[in-house]
Amino acid sequence: MAGVEKRFGTTRALRGVDLSLRSGQCLGLVGRNGAGKSTLVSILSGLAEPDAGTVRFDGQPAPRVGDIEGWREWIATVFQHSMIVPDLSVAENVFLGNTPRLLSWPRMRRRTREVMREWGLAIAPQTPCRDLSVEQRQVVEIVRALARGARCVILDEPTAALERQAAQRLFERVRQLTDSGVAVLYISHHLEEVFEICQDVVVLRDGEVVATAPTASLSRDDLVAVMVGDVEQTTAAHAPPPAPAGSGPAAGAPARDDSAPRGEVLLAVDGLASDAARGRLSGVSLRVHAGEVVGVTGLLSAGVATLGRAIAGAEGYAAGQVRLHGRPVPPGRRDVAQRAGIGYVPEDRRAEGFVAHLGVAENATMAITGQLSDRFGVLRPGRRTAAAAPVTSRLSLVSSGPGQPAGELSGGNQQKVTVARTLVHRPALIVAITPTRGVDVASKELLLGSLADAAASGRAGVLLCSDELSDLEICDRVIVLVRGEVFTEFSRPPFDRDELIVATEGLTGTTISAVYGSTEHNGAEEAAE
Amino acid sequence: MISNHTPDGPVRTAVRPGGAGPDTPAGAGKPGAWLRSLNVGVLREVALLPVLVLLIVVGTVVSPAFLTVSNFAGIGQQSSALGVVVVGESLILLIGGMDLSLESTFGLAPMVAAWLIVPVSAYGNGANLSPYLGIVVLLAVGAVVGLVNGLLIVKGRLNGFIVTLGMTIVLAGLQNGIVKAQSLFNLPEPFSYLGAASISQVPVSLIVAVVIFVLVGLFLRYHRAGRAIYAVGGNPAAARAAGIKVERIKIGAYVAGSVLAAVGGLMESGRVSAVTGQQGYQEGIIFSVFAAAVIGGVSLKGGRGNMIGAASGVILLGIVQDILDLAQVSNYWIEAIDGTVILFALFLARIVGGESTAEER
């Protein structure tokens, strides 16, 4: 593609982007939130039309926009959000939108099996997709792309919902694809991944390509510096996840005296048990003191998110008790928990984070309408805007104004709206579940910094995450959950990343090789043929 | 303006120097962008204006009697009962629900009240209630129906469509059952005042309907419960996560919707000075109610729509009905034409007010 431009109203999302992708190449595409990655993907997938510029495949002009069939023969995209129809079988999903008028089931299944085998994948074609793991669904999407003969695949944040081992298997598959001549455009916020599997990397900033280089010629710090721009180099130098987040000026974390005595017990959780589908809990107890941020981590299935939701009152639980300031908080009553002083940053911002067509300011102040309105309940929009402004500007949330619908913002800014909504009501305790998912490096610092700020001002935070272990740097201690139980606790920073990984696997040893050798999680390979 | 707020703290300076951060949309916060967003908003709200103008032109051509004060007063009187029900249905649609039984409440509430008011000789039950108490009963019937619907749907987690469909038939059956399918005439003056009286050519029902539209419109825009309605309808999970009492808001909307349907029924009874067994369900007014709301841009998916739109939907339907009457269209054809015009208006409203958001793609 050459000189591609795209405008949305007054926003120029892309300004003359040139990009080329060779067969057999794995090209990384990185950039901060709002840099134009998503726009580029939708243009390359044939979903949106560029205002200027052309896209060519093998020298031929691309099919016209809307001719999805035509595009799919060239290029296929595996999106962040699954495009699988859960009620259909694997074979049907593979041939979705590509079925002949009269279809032969045996042929469809055979063809699916063939493509799977050809690429060294194995999922039974008649399995209903609802029974598949996130990883397997991704495999189905990749196979769908390959079945149409597409020799160019875009992977948009493919590891966002994968556990580490599954991500490793995905990398294997990507290498396999590129070895056989498929071109892969790999989009990710995880720069380690880009370094691991991409030969070259393109950096988008502000809708422009600011760098194209072989990954081997760059260091991680270089890449971050290019992504965020020169002015921010000082910040970026301190930013790489393994480094302590608190050391960068952008973290906003005031120096805390580790030797200071802990405050009173703010949150007491006793014997929490839950049968939630997203991860069971059996008898989890923990204490959070005023002035500290406690990290909780574990595998996706370990009940990390369940614990966060239960504490925040977002879902009920079978047994146990949650007390704030010594007073019990009823289970499953989000409204009561909030008034008691528990703020909640949900895991899934699309589902629980904001109301898409309401304005930024209205979303940010949704939890404090009671304080903003007069005694008759009348709420003046001006007060809403005024209340939202300090927090949204502190998070450097980018919008065209307080009235812009939150649904129109980029993913990272939507996350900031979600976080702002919690910060605005200044809760005594912030429960944040994977608050930095899909957020660029600089914004990540801001979001985590705001959590650390809360703790520094005598409040407290619980940070729950399963994959972004580097986020835990801001925590005073980290609790590791394994299969719904507290496995171990790291009581003092810095937390060693490898030790954390080993602990989440339920191992006490320190050898990492043991982790990658374990096969307790069923992957695509294990599914029955 | 959030985006253009120049950062002053050291924290911010490091990340986004000046107002020109990496993802600042060009021109954000400038008058142009503001004007544009205003334009879109206003455009959507007056989406039906050209259609209304067109209809008025058509009406004027069709009959010289169209463009007269008395004709418009008539339209107002005929539309106000429907309009009040549309307000009620809009509240329920806004929270992401739907209520088919409003049409039955529209008939049952005045029937119960009238039954308690009129003498036994006129098929009353003999309670001979004062007409004022009757109006209280009417409102109570609306509130109870709404509460039952709300509890079944919200607490009982039943499907709103099926619950209110069942309720529609139950209520319509009660309406005929209590008076053995008779119509009640000779309604006392205070009871029929709202629907029948006029203040110097302006029907009281029209004034009341306008007041209801304005009050509910302001409530939705400036009251925190009103804003909570939009949040609940737009994304109930997000509203819940923000500490809004989602269930209470939803049940409240069902109750308010049914009470408004009862008020609409009172207007209708006053206008025709009788409560008939047909009123509501057998007239099939729910079609017009949904049509007016949807033509006016109230989303069936919840969270979207306003009273200006709903009002223009009601006015549009009223004018169409009036033109068909004035043009002396044969009764046999009137429904077919009415329905066609409504479909056309829906189509037009969709084009003019065309909406799309990121999440619906």
Same domain, A194 and A291: no
Contacts (Cβ under 8 Å, ≥6 apart) of A239: A224, A245, A248, A250, A441, A442, A445
Same domain, A72 and A7: yes
B235: which chain A residues are within 8 Å (Cβ-Cβ)? 351-352, 354-356
Q: Which of the two residues, A44 and B257, has the higher pLDDT score?
A: B257
The answer to the question of residue A253 being in a domain is: no
Q: How many domains, chain A?
A: 3
What tokens appear for A384 in the block?
């809403």
| CA-based radius of gyration for chain B | 23
Same domain, A416 and A431: no
| Residue B245, pLDDT above cutoff 60 | yes
What is the Cα–Cα distance from B170 to A476, expressed in whole angstroms? 62
What is the Cα–Cα distance from A38 to A304, expressed in whole angstroms? 29
Per residue in A416-441, pLDDT (tens digit) is 999 999 999 899 999 999 888 778 88
Contacts (Cβ under 8 Å, ≥6 apart) of A361: A381, A384, A385, A387, A388, A389, A392, A402, A403, B2
The answer to the question of residue A219 being in a domain is: yes
Nearest CA in chain A to B223: A378
Count of CB atoms situated within 10 Å of the CB of A274:
24
Domain holding B166: CATH number? 1.10.3470
The answer to the question of residue B43 being in a domain is: no
Nearest to A355 among B5, B29, B235 (CB): B235
A10: which chain B residues are within 8 Å (Cβ-Cβ)? 25-28, 30, 32-33, 36
Banded pLDDT at A174 (limits 50, 70, 90): confident
The answer to the question of residue B335 being in a domain is: yes
DSSP reduced 3-state for A334: helix
What is the Cα–Cα distance from B162 to B153, expressed in whole angstroms? 9
Nearest to B234 among A12, A231, A355 (CB): A355
Banded pLDDT at A25 (limits 50, 70, 90): confident
Banded pLDDT at B212 (limits 50, 70, 90): very high
For chain A, positions 33-72, list CB contacts with chain B under 8 A. 33-35
Q: Does B27 reach chain A within 8 Å, measured CB to CB?
A: yes
- What pLDDT score was predicted for residue A512? 37
For chain A, positions 355-394, list CB contacts with chain B under 8 A. 355-358, 360-363, 366-367, 369-370, 372-373, 376-381, 388-389, 392-394
For residue B130, report the phi and psi dihedrals to the nearest 5 degrees.
-65, 145
Same domain, A99 and A184: yes
The answer to the question of residue B19 being in a domain is: no
- The conformation of residue A496, written as its DSSP 8-state character, comes to P
- What pLDDT score was predicted for residue A528? 40
A401·B238 Cβ contact <8 A: no
The answer to the question of residue A245 being in a domain is: no
Same domain, A290 and A314: yes
**What rounded mean pLDDT belongs to chain A?**
80
Same domain, A189 and A289: no
| Residue B193, pLDDT above cutoff 70 | yes
| Residue B81, pLDDT above cutoff 90 | yes
What is the Cα–Cα distance from B279 to A37, expressed in whole angstroms? 58
Nearest CA in chain B to A422: B242
Banded pLDDT at A12 (limits 50, 70, 90): low
Interface probe, candidates B12, B13, B15, B246, chain A, greatest A C-beta count within 10 A: B15
Nearest to A396 among B16, B244, B357 (CB): B16
Nearest residue to A429 (alpha-carbon basis) of A457, A390, A401:
A457
Q: Does B351 reach chain A within 8 Å, measured CB to CB?
A: no
For residue A97, report the phi and psi dihedrals to the nearest 5 degrees.
75, 5
Per residue in A250-298, pLDDT (tens digit) is 333 344 444 445 678 999 999 999 888 777 898 999 999 999 999 999 8
Largest CA-CA distance found in chain B, in angstroms, rounded: 86
- What pLDDT score was predicted for residue A205? 82
Same domain, A364 and A482: no
- Amino acid at site A298: G
Residue B346, domain extent:
48-180+189-350
A400: which chain B residues are within 8 Å (Cβ-Cβ)? 3, 25, 28-29, 33, 37
Nearest to A398 among B23, B228, B304 (CB): B23
What is the Cα–Cα distance from A215 to A212, expressed in whole angstroms? 9
Banded pLDDT at B42 (limits 50, 70, 90): low
What is the Cα–Cα distance from A522 to A440, expressed in whole angstroms? 31
Q: How far is CA A221 from CA A35, A47, A232, A240, A498, in A?
A: 18, 34, 12, 7, 21
The answer to the question of residue A296 being in a domain is: yes
Q: Which of the two residues, A235 and A34, has the higher pLDDT score?
A: A34
| Residue A327, pLDDT above cutoff 90 | yes
What is the β-pairing status of strands A200-205 and A26-31? parallel
The answer to the question of residue B86 being in a domain is: yes
For chain A, positions 433-452, list CB contacts with chain B under 8 A. 442, 445-446, 449
Q: What is the rounded average pLDDT of the residues A12-40?
A: 80
For residue A88, report the phi and psi dihedrals to the nearest 5 degrees.
-100, 160
The answer to the question of residue A283 being in a domain is: yes
The answer to the question of residue A521 being in a domain is: no
Same domain, A84 and A163: yes
Same domain, A62 and A199: yes
A-B CB pairs within 8 A amount to 187
The answer to the question of residue B118 being in a domain is: yes
Q: Does B64 reach chain A within 8 Å, measured CB to CB?
A: no
DSSP reduced 3-state for A218: coil
What tokens appear for A446 in the block?
């801001």
Same domain, A153 and A234: yes
For chain B, positions 301-320, list CB contacts with chain A under 8 A. 303-304
A363: which chain B residues are within 8 Å (Cβ-Cβ)? 238
Interface probe, candidates A355, A362, A365, A453, chain B, greatest B C-beta count within 10 A: A355
Q: What is the rounded average pLDDT of the residues A316-323?
A: 93
Residue A224, domain extent:
2-240
What is the Cα–Cα distance from B270 to B110, expressed in whole angstroms? 10
**Minimum mean pLDDT range among A158-167, A380-389, A408-417:** A158-167
Same domain, A292 and A405: no
**Minimum mean pLDDT range among A133-147, A314-328, B76-90, B314-328:** A133-147
The answer to the question of residue B10 being in a domain is: no
Q: How many domains, chain B?
A: 1
Q: What is the rounded average pLDDT of the residues B178-191?
A: 91
A367·B243 Cβ contact <8 A: yes
Q: Strand A11-17: give its sheet, edge to edge.
A: A11-17, A2-8, A52-54
- What pLDDT score was predicted for residue A4? 53
Q: Does B22 reach chain A within 8 Å, measured CB to CB?
A: yes
What is the Cα–Cα distance from A119 to B227, expressed in whole angstroms? 53
Count of CB atoms situated within 10 Å of the CB of A84:
21
Nearest to A389 among B2, B24, B28 (CB): B2
Nearest CA in chain A to B232: A355
- The conformation of residue A474, written as its DSSP 8-state character, comes to G
Domain holding A57: CATH number? 3.40.50.300
The answer to the question of residue B116 being in a domain is: yes
The secondary structure of A246-283 as a DSSP string is GGSGGG------TTSPP--EEEEEEEEEE--TT--EEE
Same domain, A362 and A480: no
Largest CA-CA distance found in chain A, in angstroms, rounded: 73
Q: Does B32 reach chain A within 8 Å, measured CB to CB?
A: yes
Interface probe, candidates B219, B224, B356, chain A, greatest A C-beta count within 10 A: B224
| CA-based radius of gyration for chain A | 24
What is the Cα–Cα distance from A324 to A328, expressed in whole angstroms? 6
CB B60 within 8 A of CB B66: yes
Count of CB atoms situated within 10 Å of the CB of A61:
9
Terminal alpha carbon distance of chain A: 40
The answer to the question of residue A181 being in a domain is: yes
Q: Does B249 reach chain A within 8 Å, measured CB to CB?
A: no
Nearest to B14 among A9, A250, A346 (CB): A250
What is the Cα–Cα distance from B116 to B101, expressed in whole angstroms? 22
- The alpha carbon dihedral of A134, A136, A139, A141 has a sign of negative
B239·A366 Cβ contact <8 A: yes
- What pLDDT score was predicted for residue A506? 73
List alpha helices for A57-190, DSSP H: 68-72, 90-94, 105-118, 134-147, 164-179
- What pLDDT score was predicted for residue A160? 67
| Residue A116, pLDDT above cutoff 70 | yes
The answer to the question of residue A415 being in a domain is: yes
- What pLDDT score was predicted for residue A92? 84
- What pLDDT score was predicted for residue A24? 85
Banded pLDDT at B136 (limits 50, 70, 90): very high
Tell me the pTM.
0.75
Contacts (Cβ under 8 Å, ≥6 apart) of A473: A241, A243, A244, A245, A246, A448, A493, A494, A495
Per residue in A201-251, pLDDT (tens digit) is 988 887 888 888 888 888 877 887 787 765 443 333 333 333 333 333 333
CA distance, residue B346 to nearest chain A CA (Å): 22
Q: Does A480 reach chain B within 8 Å, measured CB to CB?
A: no
- What pLDDT score was predicted for residue A259? 44
- What pLDDT score was predicted for residue A513? 37
Banded pLDDT at B44 (limits 50, 70, 90): low
CB A209 within 8 A of CB A27: no
B356: which chain A residues are within 8 Å (Cβ-Cβ)? none
